[in-house]
Chain A
């Protein structure tokens, strides 16, 4: 019987096969692999942590309860990201907000709430000044991402944050490859434009 340690060495298809056979550990392995990427994508799309958790939870429940419909010829990651992206897009449409609050969750009222719910930039081991610049630039980028159209946001997050191939992004978004490349190109142009105050 595959142990939890063995499962980590298996590919997604093998883990899914074990999950279909009834192994709870296989389900948890899938959760463990995709918990952060899926949550991060949804969080950056909807910009509300509590809502993102609900949507991520619904995504996983939907996926794990429908494993018997999963077709192994397609990548599992494409399937789960597709469902996650659709959940986020549906939520955005319900709220009829294409461009969201740049700082903090939409429901944030006080300065403390805005600070607490704003997406935080990464902190790397650079010099204090470089680290400050990096953190500020990262925060600016998070804000700029929030201003992108949902389709551009999905494309750029999957490409540059999650490191997915163009073909996989096309599968996730159910779009032609050319359209995906166009979206990513336009997203980068828009990000550059939003961040233009940082230029000479």
Chain B
């Protein structure tokens, strides 16, 4: 090897090896893999999901147990309108906050640490980042809450069965109601992700979520009739009641309509989130 080639070689080698060689393939699947790694590699995520299951099941059993203790003193009317499925799912009241807060944190924790800049520098197409987070968190939330509501249903019915009050999963509308509960929790979780993206700060986003999910229905109820029911049925709480009630409730949407309204909420809030994350400075 002559001196000339050894001197020249490094320069040429560098130019050859450092020509940008961007891999082929779609951006979204890569971003989804990355978001899945992020979600599973943080212990607090795992604990939040366990807590969501624990709250749903434990509170559901507690409400069922309380009902069995009260049952002998209840009037006929109350006994007849009793919905054992809904009773076993009453832990949703608190579980929706656990999954909603996790949805907020999926993105707000990145804003809090500044990691969002690293993320958006790695994936400059910001819609893809939000879509990947939505897909990964949405699937995880759906799987975990489905597990939660089924355990809560069967555990709750076992408690009610001590007074022969339990429902069977095969009874009319029961399976739909139980699945509806998981759909509702996943819906609130994704709503949390949208609010987390829009508000960016964890505390503010959680406050917004609590406001929309818990406070707005109370405000709506304060309105004179019939406005109170007309508005309340389109709010997340009203949608939830329609989704996980076995009986059709007066003044509420049917389960199909409720699902549609839930989807409209998600489309609306996630569209705002997408526009904001794309336009704002990171």
Report whether chain A binds chain B.
Answer: no
